[in-house]
Every structure is written in C-alpha cells, then in structure tokens.
Amino acid sequence: QSQLRKDLLDAFTKADGAYLSGQHIAELIGCSRTAVWKHIGELRKEGFELEAVRRKGYRIVKTPEKITADELRLGLTTKFIGKNLHYEETVDSTQKIAHRLAYDDAPEGTVIIAEEQVSGRGRMARRWHSPKYTGIWMSIILRPNISLPKAPQLTLLTAVAIVQAIEELTGLLPEIKWPNDILIKGKKVTGILTELEAESDRINSIIIGIGINVNQTKEDFPSDLEQIATSLLLEKGETVSRADLIKGIFTNLEKLYLLYLEEGFLPIKLLWESYAISIGKKITARTLTQSIIGKALGITDDGVLMIEDDHGKIHHVYSADIEL
Ligand code: BT5
C-alpha cells in the first residue's frame, strides 16, 4: 500500500464522516487532484463506497465487508462441511484450486473460498463474474460413494440447500431453474457448477462450485448481466452478511447430504420440486446438439429432466440450458 493511500485513508478517518473536497485532500496529503481521483477510484475497486457531492466532496459511506476465516469458523456447528477451510483473497477460480486439493487427498467437506475470482467459470467454459467483496465464490469437495450417473443429483441437492439458507437468512423466496440456476423474480442470483474426478465408474471426488451474488449494487454488474442477474442486496434492499449465509449453506448442505446418503435421492427430489419453477411449463431446452421444445414434466428419480414435445414424445435431458 502506498504512502499516499495511507494518508488518504487517514484523512478520511480524521474527517469522521464529513465531506472532504478533492482540493482539500490534495492539500492535506500533498499531491495533485488527479492523484486523489486515481486513489479514490482504486478504493472503489477494493469495495469502498464513496459518496460524491458537488461542492462538498467525498465521503466514505461503506467499507468493504471482508470475510475472515475466523468469522466463518466462529459458531459453525457442522461435522465436516467447512471444517477444513481455505480462504483466499484473489484466485483464478476456486474450482481449479479445489481440483488440486481433491487430488491431494483433501478430506471430504473441504471448502475453498475467495473474495475475488479473475477467471471464475460457468458451464462449458462460460465466464462467471466474481467481483471482490460482494459475493460468495466457493468450491466444496464431497466424496460420496455413488455411481457416476448419479453425480448431477448433487447439483440439485446443493440448490435446495442454498435456497433454504437464503430463505432462512433473508426471507426472500428464491426459485430453482433446472439444473443449476437459482433465480429471484426471474433473475439469476446463484449459479452452481458441479465437476468431478472419477476413474472408470468410481467417483473420487465431486467438486461443487457455488457463486452467489450477495451485496452487488446495480453498478457492480457489467452491462451484459444487468438484465439477467440480481443480488440479494438488490432484492432485499439491505446488505446481507456473507459469513452468515455461508454458514447457513454449510449447515443445510450437510443435513441434506447425510439424508441423501442414508435414504437416497427421493426426499431431496420432493424438496427440489417444491422450489422448482420450470415444471409444468412450456420450455425450450438447448443441449449441445439440439433444441427441444415442450412441456417440462418433472425430473426422474435420478434427477434427469423430462420434457414432452408436441408429438407426445418424452425426452430425457441430462444437461441443457433452459429458456422459460
Ligand atoms: C453457472 O454456469 O451458473 C455456474 C457458475 C458457478 C460459479 C462458481 S463461483 C465458485 C466456483 N468457481 C468457479 O470458477 N465457478 C464456480 P452457467 O449455467 O454456464 O451460467 C453462466 C452464465 O451466467 C454466463 O454465461 C452469464 O450469462 C451468467 N453470469 C455470469 N456471471 C454471473 C453472475 N455473477 N450472476 C449472474 N449471472 C452470471
């Protein structure tokens, strides 16, 4: 951190909430006004919110709400999920790190969380926008003893755990769009990416990537996401504690996962259906090779989407993008 930055922060500290003009700051810390603007821009990038008022100047209205590993550990009552926690400031993708940790025999329930991802990814090499201090970007390693075709069930299970945690903490009512989107009022608030390491039919590890938009404001979204994405802050009208939400997800995920290992997918399927939006509606499913248009009948006991086309033919869809 440069001396100028420290002086700037000291100036705001001394101002104690009062406005400081660019000119005044420049005099206080002995630099040009251009330098002041540059540092203010950088503070914003770090997650500070500065209010700028004409003829008065700047005021810091919010500091970045960083998550600390200690804060996450405090009050966490799970048996294994989140017990082995890796916390990073900036990574390319938490998925990539999780794959490496899984390969190195990290225990089940290991979690890697980052404040920012510079190459966060979605399915099929799409990008996932993961700006600093605003969202939850994490990957969880599970090692269930299940066969390969059952792996997608974990995506659905995770979606249920997240919907429940959001509802408990905020009172918002998110809905699930098969297979991996969580929406609020039709806009995407969460994406889930399930990847796995397997040898023939044996799963070594499943890596569940979770991206949740928590405290982004409208300006935090790039223009191509503005219409399709939202955050919990935007929907609720107040900031939401990322640490509390993470702990809620760990708790619900562990509960559902243990239920799943004991009783299979059926109890999860019932919960999932109660939160799903596409079922019973006419949808378009775009797979890698074709587009299927028809009515979404529901999911099979394995979690596969069933669509009935206009000729009454039922298609089983394992992976696709859905348009409602
Ligand atoms: C997903 O892919 O929705 C899975 C996203 C998983 C992200 C997590 S973050 C932690 C872990 N580490 C990673 O690198 N990834 C995982 P998909 O269904 O393919 O959707 C991707 C599409 O969502 C993009 O093409 C955009 O249109 C949109 N998108 C990108 N960033 C978004 C955001 N922050 N909020 C809402 N939509 C977004």
Residues 120, 17 within the same domain: no
What is the reported pLDDT for 201? 80
Residues 109, 250 within the same domain: yes
Pocket test for ligand 1, best of 128, 184, 208, 322 (most atoms within 8 A of CB): 128
Q: At what angle do helices 3-15 and 33-46 cross, to 10 degrees?
A: 80
CA–centroid distance, 141 to ligand 1, in Å, is 18
Ligand 1 atom 36: residue of nearest CA: 229
Ligand 1 atom 11: residue of nearest CA: 209
CATH number where 31 lies = 1.10.10.10
Interacting residues of 14 by C-beta distance below 8 A, sequence separation 6+:
none
Residues 129, 203 within the same domain: yes
What is the reported pLDDT for 275? 96
Q: Is 188 in the pocket of ligand 1 (CB under 6 A)?
A: yes
What is the reported pLDDT for 37? 92
User: Domain end: 35, 62, 89, which one?
Assistant: 62
CA–centroid distance, 123 to ligand 1, in Å, is 7
Residue with tokens 């259906």: 273
DSSP class of residue 204 equals E
What is the reported pLDDT for 174? 98
Residues 19, 96 within the same domain: no
The 3-state DSSP class for residue 266 equals helix
Report the distance separating Cα 188 and Cα 199, nearest Å: 34
CA–centroid distance, 129 to ligand 1, in Å, is 7
Peptide bond into 107 cis (omega under 30): no
Domain span at 299: 278-323
pLDDT mean over 40-49: 85
Residues 270, 290 within the same domain: no
CATH number where 309 lies = 2.30.30.100
* pLDDT confidence tier of residue 286, bands split at 50, 70 and 90: very high
Whole-number percent of the chain with pLDDT over 70: 99
165-194 burial, b at 16+ Cβ within 10 Å, e below that, comes to: bbeebbeeebbbbbbbbbbbeebbbbbbbb
Residues 110, 185 within the same domain: yes
What is the reported pLDDT for 211? 98
Q: What is the pLDDT of residues 6-31, one digit of tens each?
A: 789 888 888 888 999 999 999 999 99
Cα–Cα separations (whole angstroms), residue 68 to 29, 52, 138, 246? 31, 29, 14, 12
Residues 175, 290 within the same domain: no
CA–centroid distance, 265 to ligand 1, in Å, is 25
CA–centroid distance, 147 to ligand 1, in Å, is 26
Q: What is the pLDDT of residues 238-268, one digit of tens each?
A: 989 999 999 999 999 999 999 999 999 999 9
Q: Is 159 in the pocket of ligand 1 (CB under 6 A)?
A: no
Residues 103, 12 within the same domain: no
Residues 270, 285 within the same domain: no
CA–centroid distance, 215 to ligand 1, in Å, is 16
Residues 169, 40 within the same domain: no
Residues 215, 300 within the same domain: no
User: Domain end: 62, 80, 104, which one?
Assistant: 62
* pLDDT confidence tier of residue 191, bands split at 50, 70 and 90: very high
What is the reported pLDDT for 64? 66
| 294 closest CA partner among 284, 279, 303 | 284
What is the reported pLDDT for 9? 84
CATH number where 117 lies = 3.30.930.10
Residues 35, 111 within the same domain: no
Q: At what angle do helices 242-263 and 152-170 cross, to 10 degrees?
A: 140
Could you give the number of structural domains in the chain? 3
Which atom of ligand 1 is nearest to 117's Cα? 14
